[in-house]
Amino acid sequence: MGFNLARSRWNSGCPTGFIDLQQLSFVRRPGADGCSDTSLGIANLAAMRELFGSRGADLVVASAHLHTAAEHTALRRTAPRRPAVIARLRDTESALEEHIRARSQGSEARLAGDDLVGATEARQAHVLAVAVSEQRVLEADQAEDFVVDVSGRTPDEVTSELQQHVARRTNG
């Protein structure tokens, strides 16, 4: 959805940067779960936000998988002169399960470094349990600026809502 938001802004002539935090975070640690180090991605994002801004971007959209309220706080500190607006997408457990299964089968857009491609059913169940648990933690923490429920909605509908929220937060 972050890329859709950035693309819609580009199509409207708005100078916008786009970053996938996981793409800035690849570190393979032997025995570790996954291959993304969020703290490394956030540190890289700080530099990238400044670079995008120096080239005229009035907004940088960062697609990220944040696990904790502490990561939200770290993200907000990346560029104090350019405040972060953090949105969280929420979906149903059954939709998350379907998304995980599709990624494991390689049927969705391929993600560089996707550790779910070819995942066993046990691995998929573990990832789902972690995702549901993280969603509960983030619901309780309420560390984001707004939550967008994506359940049963089209990408265009979600992008439109994201645009409205971001416009209110950055123009107000």
Q: Is residue 172 part of a domain?
A: no
Per-residue pLDDT at 80? 64
Give the tens place of pLDDT for each residue, 113-160: 677 888 899 999 998 998 898 888 888 888 788 889 998 888 899 999
Q: Which residues contact 108 (CB under 8 A, 6 or more apart)?
A: 99, 102
- Which pLDDT band, with edges at 50, 70 and 90, does 172 fall under? very low
> What number is the average pLDDT over the span 70-74?
83
9-41 exposure pattern, b = at least 16 Cβ within 10 A, e = fewer: beeeeeebbbbbbbebbeeeeeeeebebbbeeb
Whether residue 7 lies inside any domain: the answer is: yes
- Tokens representing 111? 């993600």
* pLDDT of the residue at 6: 92
On average, the pLDDT of the chain sits at 82
Domain assignment present for residue 66? The answer is yes
CATH number, domain with residue 52: 3.40.50.300
Span 89-105, mean pLDDT? 88
Residue 67 within a domain: yes
Of residues 160 and 84, the one with the higher pLDDT is: 160
- pLDDT single digits (tens) 26-39: 665 555 555 557 78
- The radius of gyration of the chain's CA atoms, rounded to the nearest angstrom, is 16
- Running DSSP on this structure, what letter comes out for residue 63? E
What is the extent of the structural domain holding 102? 2-167
Task: Write down the pLDDT at residue 100.
Answer: 87
pLDDT band, residue 46 (cuts 50/70/90)? confident
Q: How far is CA 16 from CA 24, 25, 118, 157, in A?
A: 18, 21, 34, 20
**Ramachandran region, residue 4 (left: φ > 0; alpha: ψ -120 to 50; beta: rest):** alpha
Number of domains in the chain: 1
